[in-house]
Amino acid sequence: MITIDQLNTVEEREILSIAQQHGQNAGQLIASIVRDYLEDLHDAKRAETATADIESWESTLLDWDDVKVELYDLDD
């Protein structure tokens, strides 16, 4: 169980209001927010890794026109 003691009254009211609008309780809303945040962190880490691979030339970049030609050739 996690308790959040750092919210002020305005933030707490806003969370309760948003939760009610979405048919959730505050705990469900906060759990959803935390899940989304963690997913965003994982996505950002994967993007950083992919960017580093591209910048270090460990990844192969393909020209879109070449890809289209190869795809067209597959259809024939």
Could you give the angle at which helices 9-21 and 26-55 cross, rounded to 10 degrees?
90
Q: Which residues contact 53 (CB under 8 A, 6 or more apart)?
A: 59
pTM for this prediction: 0.64
The confidence score (pLDDT) of residue 4 equals 80
The confidence score (pLDDT) of residue 59 equals 65
> Nearest to residue 12, comparing CAs of 43, 34, 3?
3
The confidence score (pLDDT) of residue 54 equals 81
Q: Which residues contact 25 (CB under 8 A, 6 or more apart)?
A: 19
Which three-class secondary structure state does DSSP give residue 38?
Answer: helix
The confidence score (pLDDT) of residue 17 equals 96
pLDDT tens-digit series, residues 26-67: 999 999 999 999 999 999 999 999 888 888 876 677 889 988
d(CA 33, CA 55): 32
Q: For residue 75, what pLDDT band results from cuts at 50, 70 and 90?
A: low
